[in-house]
Structure 1
Amino acid sequence: MSLTVRIENATTAKRIWKLIKDTYNAEMELSVLKKMNLKKNNIYLIKVITRADEILHDMDLMVDGKIKNHPGYQVVRKDCCARAYLAGAFMASGSVNSPTKSNYHLEIATLDQDHAFFIQKLMLRFDLPAKHIIRRNQHVVYLKASERISDFLRCVGAYDSVMNFEDLRIQRDFRNSLTRLDNCEVANEMKTMKAGRKQSEDIEILEKYGKMQYLDKRLQEVAELRKAYPEASLNDLCETYEQNTGLSISKSGMKHRLAKLSELAQKLIEK
């Protein structure tokens, strides 16, 4: 019996070769194939010629000469063994999106449904509630939340990857927060400018109908202030009002007086 391991990652292939060689001193052959798709990645084939049945038996992947879909739970009874199995599954057929992208995604793909459920159950053991889907004849166990992805990488001992992932994620979230803040500030400025233009138009209506001179002095002061600063915010108007008159006014007080001017102008339009 021979055993063939197919892998696309050179580092993982080297690691598998060394483990088998150091542990079993088995006779092996290495072949490198080239994919015919656009990426043209290398495929590394490690053929274990001797002691293959012993390796499969030790991994609890062969019973009575038949290959099992996954090892028995006695192999992953200890947490350290379960973590090692998840690490191996991820290295063999897993992937994780760059945290700079818009969606976070980590997955482990397998051709067998029972194996996918086995991986899913192992992940749940470490509070990693992974989901399962079928994609192009493959069973995919995946995580979406960034915190869960970090927890998985930490679980399998990929500490450098955790630091890199978290660093990139924090940078991305920080940039997104700044963008949202900028958008919010722009929206507020546009809202302030729109309100200022409307209030200036209302004041022009009051002037057109000759009503300004009959208004309360406090309303006249606010009207003159808005005419002089048509795009100023309520806070800026309050500060300028206090500088000009020596009297303090709250933001709600300024808003109330401007609303009163708009109300009077609207009544004139409706007549």
Structure 2
Amino acid sequence: MEEIRFSDKIREDIIKSPPKNSDECQYELASALLCARVSSHGDARHHSKSTVFSPHVSEYLRTLMVCCGLYSSSEPHDIDLLRRHIEGRGKDTGSRQHYLDENISAWIRVLPNLQSIEKSDVFASDVLARRAALRGAFLVAGYAGNPLSDYRIEIRVGNSSYVEPLMLFFHGQNIIPNIVKRGKTTVLYLRDGEQIADFLAFIGAHRSVVFYESIRAEKEVRSQVNRVVNCDTANAMRQAEAGMKRSKKIRNLIERSNGSDIPQELMETARVFLDNPGLSIKDLGELMDPPIGKSGMHHRLKKLEQMADEG
């Protein structure tokens, strides 16, 4: 799955779980327009005509506008219109991208909660308003990295006066975004895996959460397996190096003394050890005659090393 496609998957999830009442509808639309470089003072000069949407997103925004009474329609301005929109999305809408309507300033003047959402004191304490605002923000200005290679969620905020309120909406859910400036645009972004999962769940992108978490779990399992393998490999290397050093010491000891100064039980221990490189101390002890335990074999090998060091 390519990066842009995961972003679109999240948008599809948002569209398939529309607002439950007209207030949420207004908050979501207001946040979307603010992130799309729209002034809350009816000034369309701040609107970027480079802001483009897929046909599905464009249709969804237009339907939100109708529900808020901001767009002429023969249909009633109620929330059921959104559900009819979702159910009827099987129709071909063409492949061209859609721009926001050029008459955006007219909508802004009649949208009652737009300036209020910028001043966000009330909305920051309202979980439904926070949810709707973050949904609208991601819908028009969101980006999601491919979770196979990059844990990242971004929202590019085109309207500078909306950066702080949007930060408050995140903080209200104990989600703490980082912030960076790219040219004239401020970007809020998440890199923490848990916070990204919390964000996706909060905005109602439930299918995307399942997809994302399955990848995270798989990557975590692989990481744990790699850690165990690396640990085992490191332990084996340390044991091999220690065995080589011990073998060298014991060989040197035998060559120096010709075995005359070494007790018979230690000579037998040295012979078994040198003839069976790589065996564990427990297995070496079982080859002794008579067999001895792991601690006994370890004690004899340490005694041989001590004699080698003293000589």
Name the TM-score class by shorter chain. Answer: 0.7 to 0.9
Mapped contact 1:116–1:132 kept (Cα < 8 A): no
Partner of 1:116: 163
What letter corresponds to residue 228 of structure 1 in structure 2?
D
For the structure 1 residues 105 and 78, does the alpha-carbon distance in structure 2 shift closer, same or farther, using more than 3 Å as the test?
Answer: same
For the structure 1 residues 109 and 25, does the alpha-carbon distance in structure 2 shift closer, same or farther, using more than 3 Å as the test?
Answer: closer
Select the residue among 248, 251, 258 that pairs with 2:301: 258
Partner of 1:90: 138
Q: Which whole-Å CA distance do the structure 2 matches of 1:46 and 1:80 have between them? A: 25
For the structure 1 residues 265 and 19, does the alpha-carbon distance in structure 2 shift closer, same or farther, using more than 3 Å as the test?
Answer: same
Question: For structure 1, which runs of at least 5 residues remain unmatched after alignment?
Answer: 29-40, 63-67
Partner of 2:62: 17
Shift of 1:260: 3.1
User: Which protein, 1 or 2, shows the higher relative CO under an 8 Å CA cutoff with sep ≥ 6?
Assistant: 2
Shift of 1:171: 0.5
Mapped contact 2:118–2:165 kept (Cα < 8 A): yes
* Identity within the alignment, %: 23
Partner of 1:128: 175
Mapped contact 1:84–1:156 kept (Cα < 8 A): yes
Residue 60 in 1 paired to residue 113 in 2? yes
For the structure 1 residues 129 and 76, does the alpha-carbon distance in structure 2 shift closer, same or farther, using more than 3 Å as the test?
Answer: closer
Residue 241 in 1 paired to residue 285 in 2? yes
Mapped contact 1:94–1:107 kept (Cα < 8 A): yes
* DSSP-derived class of the 2:257 partner: coil
Shift of 1:209: 1.3
Q: TM-score if structure 1 supplies the norm length?
A: 0.76
Residue 44 in 1 paired to residue 84 in 2? no
Partner of 1:172: 219
Partner of 2:148: 100
* DSSP-derived class of the 1:140 partner: strand
Partner of 2:5: none
For the structure 1 residues 87 and 257, does the alpha-carbon distance in structure 2 shift closer, same or farther, using more than 3 Å as the test?
Answer: farther
Shift of 1:94: 1.4
Which whole-Å deviations, capped at 9, do the CAs of 1:119-176 have from their partners, x for residues lacking one? Answer: 1111110111222221233211122211111111111111111111110011011111
What letter corresponds to residue 187 of structure 1 in structure 2?
A
What letter corresponds to residue 119 of structure 1 in structure 2?
L
Partner of 1:154: 201
What letter corresponds to residue 19 of structure 1 in structure 2?
L
For the structure 1 residues 229 and 45, does the alpha-carbon distance in structure 2 shift closer, same or farther, using more than 3 Å as the test?
Answer: same
Partner of 1:206: 253
For the structure 1 residues 49 and 113, does the alpha-carbon distance in structure 2 shift closer, same or farther, using more than 3 Å as the test?
Answer: closer
Q: Which whole-Å CA distance do the structure 2 matches of 1:119 and 1:10 have between them? A: 26
Mapped contact 2:124–2:172 kept (Cα < 8 A): no
Mapped contact 1:120–1:131 kept (Cα < 8 A): no
Equivalent residues, number = 244
Mapped contact 2:70–2:111 kept (Cα < 8 A): no
Q: Which whole-Å CA distance do the structure 2 matches of 1:190 and 1:99 have between them? A: 35
Query: Higher strand proportion, which one?
Result: 1
Question: For structure 2, which runs of at least 5 residues remain unmatched after alignment?
Answer: 1-41, 74-94
Mapped contact 2:281–2:298 kept (Cα < 8 A): no
Q: Which whole-Å CA distance do the structure 1 matches of 2:108 and 2:118 have between them? A: 14
* DSSP-derived class of the 2:101 partner: strand
Mapped contact 1:196–1:226 kept (Cα < 8 A): no
Q: Which whole-Å CA distance do the structure 2 matches of 1:123 and 1:208 have between them? A: 74
Mapped contact 2:142–2:155 kept (Cα < 8 A): yes
